[in-house]
Structure 1
């Protein structure tokens, strides 16, 4: 058993919860509280997406806090931490929390229908890139995976913007109880 004490928790982190602002028609991450943790960057990638590629990971040790779920996120050293596991620690009274370091993007659903569609935070991860040369011009097709909070629902065939760039929603993956993943596609002429 690894010994740990409150004095070992030297990193200040913010606990983020998703909030909806009706007057602005947007979801955003808001800090609900702050707590102390022991944060250690991982040497392996954190596979936070079942369809896309992984991201750098970080492991936190925190005191047990009621109400912390995988619907939440952490803010650590200015970086968004997508929570992937909350596990009992070897030492009673503590949790081990696994997270992926992720860049949050501003997204807008149903972007083709209304310029004032609902905005929400999403995480874009790469899936694959294809280069095609039909006829006389070249076209690049880029497939990404957009990871969203569970409350975000995107219909296949609809358009979503990520940082103001348009993507078509291809395939939804909705079985995870804490997040949704959408395969999205962007085509551009070269």
Structure 2
């Protein structure tokens, strides 16, 4: 545990409340909206922040009662905390549970959509690429040999803020890495979306 964290008692750690916002170019990012005083304890248990991926370290945060929801996140000393529960406690305080995560900036490359023009003829609607913050976590890996190469299907769980809407077949890419293809969409949670993404790798 880092010495920057203390047990959940005295509210002496300054953290930023983050909100996922879209800019004029259509790109999404976590932006600070205000600062709060907290106490934070990194616990030994695992926070199951994803229904389809593995968990992360659990953080217990205490702060004063205020307007905050699970659509927000926290940043403390450069560390990103993905909120998973909010409960009331005594003395005008609230208790937050969060997963200690390392979000990455990804580029979404949506598939073209089909539509109709003013004469009701089929037409293709181009979709613009955009960047967004996401959390990649392990799903599972399986090997599929073929006649010439042995291909590895690398699958990941992708957890995003609720506004990030992807469809099966869309591509997502982290930096200069090979892109992943969205295979499954899990969007029933009111605060986040989850996706199964995969790519083939030759070894």
TM-score for the superposition, normalised by structure 1: 0.90
**2-side partners of 1:15 and 1:34: how far apart?**
6
The yes-or-no answer on 1:107 pairing with 2:106 is yes
Distance 1:28 1:98, change over 3 A: same
Structure-1 residue corresponding to 2:173:
161
Structure-2 residue corresponding to 1:136:
148
| Segments of 4+ moved more than 4 angstroms | 111-116
The yes-or-no answer on 1:16 pairing with 2:18 is yes
The yes-or-no answer on 1:178 pairing with 2:191 is yes
- From 123, 133, 154, give the equivalent of 2:135: 123
**2-side partners of 1:132 and 1:28: how far apart?**
36
Instruction: Name the SS of the counterpart of 1:176 in structure 2.
Output: coil
The yes-or-no answer on 1:84 pairing with 2:84 is yes
Farther-moved stretch of structure 1 (139-148 vs 115-124): 115-124
Structure-1 residue corresponding to 2:4:
none
Q: CA RMSD in A?
A: 1.7
**2-side partners of 1:163 and 1:147: how far apart?**
17
Per-residue deviation, 1:20: 0.8
The yes-or-no answer on 1:33 pairing with 2:34 is yes
Per-residue deviation, 1:110: 1.9
Per-residue deviation, 1:25: 2.4
Per-residue deviation, 1:92: 3.1
- From 136, 141, 148, give the equivalent of 2:160: 148
2:109–2:128 Cα contact (<8 Å) kept: no
1:17–1:30 Cα contact (<8 Å) kept: yes
Per-residue deviation, 1:71: 0.4
Structure-2 residue corresponding to 1:71:
71
**1-side partners of 2:175 and 2:192: how far apart?**
20
Instruction: Name the SS of the counterpart of 1:88 in structure 2.
Output: strand
Per-residue deviation, 1:112: 6.5
Structure 1 unaligned regions, length at least 5: 1-6
1:169–1:183 Cα contact (<8 Å) kept: yes
**Partner deviation per Cα, 1:59-114 (whole Å, 9 max, x = no partner):** 10000012x0000000012111100001112x230000000011111112226768
